[in-house]
Structure 1
């Protein structure tokens, strides 16, 4: 089994490399647009530079590496940036997917494509795999368009949708709700956290595990991979404060209208994950367990 992963400098990509290199009989090919951030950590893992927005590069790398499976994590995922830089967003989230699908079709590669709860309107949740996409921001529109391309592919495919991924990785600058709350409270800073948005937060290691289960079992179709705890960001922040024994009075409960952001956020999403549990054997961490995982990973040596 030879698995090529795109976007391995990102959070999920790094977790996938760490997980897959430990699996017997699995050969991992890591790819990313920039230089390999994991070279020192995993010198045993093959790395090939790849910009998935360039069709000729995608075709060349897949022909050269001959993967049996491809897990496509590379994307432009900042919703506000996508709203403001629409051409760039479409290039990386839609055009690039056309290139990946075409190359997978040509070489009969099993494709796992990562998508998001932002393909939904936020009018109701939690949602199962039968829910109809109805995005309310451009990021969601781009990911919904990519899903249609994947669903029309003439090669075995899976769409893995996920929600509010949190975790920490090597040389990874973006923060997440756990680290942001912890670090802000440790610094004595007051923070405002919304209580009218609902999500099922996903530990990055759980998402990587879900992608591996899909590839391992040559699954096809759509799977929702997240936790199954429906929480507001405010509830998450209170759990973080309690875990690290920090001052929760610094956390102000607000609603989404408090913030002015270029991209609208769906109010209520979150996923029903019974299909992944039953068909894949997927077992996620609770949010409390996920906080403990991050604590261990970020503890001073």
Structure 2
């Protein structure tokens, strides 16, 4: 049995990790998040109400359960909010990681940490693991600083870098590019979509599987863990419209600069995935397969109501 503590278990990735761990008899899961458990299944694992910003709460949970691995999914990821609320962004994206590193060093715990394509400036994507970061936003800066703290630490660390994670949770409390585009187009609402940024969107289930592969293989180091298709943002939305047979004429191309967003975004990121495929056995779905997967989940949710 491998004992895994997941932080941020109420988030999209956290809930997908709970799903996978529940199906795996070799894993004992301790899920943790701030406030009550939002996962629909409450049995088969332990849930701890834990504020990741409180080092004493983290210490209490770690010393109570002695996990073999911590998967840290907790983060402040709203890029513009990070720009306007730097204090909270730093506390969540860097401060909490310091606490996790210290405990992982003390108790010989493997620490798997989620990072982002936003540590890069987007001038030379797609990127390999060893390419030189140059974040354009405060969010990217904090995620890079957390990576550097891990790399300087003596704990057994894994950094999984990912891009635009999409998927759905049972209570539909999390939006993402697929649900946003589908919802707006079904209402007949015109939508402005950026046509000059490129990403490799990641299905949450694929990323959760990669986290568990890293845990089971006792991996160490930096791994790229995104989807496999490089698409512009507008291409993603067009594929959503095509899948559900929605009106593509409602999709209006705009440039990123015209949005006047608080935080600057990289133009073209994307990842080279060879390392994660070869070492971890990571095998992400295509974006079309991801849309079909989400569609099947949406149907299952509506049928269960």
**What does the per-residue CA deviation read over 1:45-75, in whole Å, with 9 as the maximum and x for residues that have no partner?**
2101111111111111101111001100011
Residue 262 of structure 2 is matched in structure 1 by 262
**What does the per-residue CA deviation read over 1:91-110, in whole Å, with 9 as the maximum and x for residues that have no partner?**
01101000011011111101
Distance in 2, matches of 1:59 and 1:90, equals 20
Distance in 2, matches of 1:232 and 1:78, equals 20
Residue 102 of structure 1 is matched in structure 2 by 102
Distance in 1, matches of 2:229 and 2:256, equals 20
Distance in 2, matches of 1:98 and 1:223, equals 20
| More deviation, 93-102/20-29 | 20-29
Residue 227 of structure 1 is matched in structure 2 by 227
Residue 6 of structure 1 is matched in structure 2 by 7
| More deviation, 19-28/241-250 | 19-28
Residue 109 of structure 1 contacts residue 155 of structure 1 at CA under 8 Å; is this kept in 2?
yes
| More deviation, 170-179/63-72 | 170-179
Structure-to-structure mapping, 1:1-301, within 5 angstroms: 1-38=2-39, 40-299=40-299, 300-301=302-303
Distance in 1, matches of 2:74 and 2:260, equals 27
Give 1:222 shift.
Answer: 0.2
Residue 213 of structure 1 contacts residue 280 of structure 1 at CA under 8 Å; is this kept in 2?
yes
Distance in 2, matches of 1:191 and 1:234, equals 10
Give 1:171 shift.
Answer: 3.3
Residue ranges of structure 2 left out of the alignment (5+ in a row): none
| TM-score when normalising by structure 1 | 0.98
Distance in 1, matches of 2:86 and 2:231, equals 30
3-state SS in 1 of match to 2:231: coil
Residue 228 of structure 2 contacts residue 285 of structure 2 at CA under 8 Å; is this kept in 1?
no
Distance in 2, matches of 1:214 and 1:96, equals 21
Distance in 2, matches of 1:293 and 1:83, equals 33
Q: How many residues align?
A: 300
| TM-score when normalising by structure 2 | 0.96
Distance in 2, matches of 1:139 and 1:172, equals 25
Residue 37 of structure 1 contacts residue 170 of structure 1 at CA under 8 Å; is this kept in 2?
no
Residue 238 of structure 1 contacts residue 248 of structure 1 at CA under 8 Å; is this kept in 2?
yes
Give 1:172 shift.
Answer: 5.0
Residue 118 of structure 1 contacts residue 266 of structure 1 at CA under 8 Å; is this kept in 2?
yes
Residue 193 of structure 2 contacts residue 254 of structure 2 at CA under 8 Å; is this kept in 1?
yes
3-state SS in 1 of match to 2:199: coil
**What does the per-residue CA deviation read over 1:137-175, in whole Å, with 9 as the maximum and x for residues that have no partner?**
000011001001111221111000000111111335331
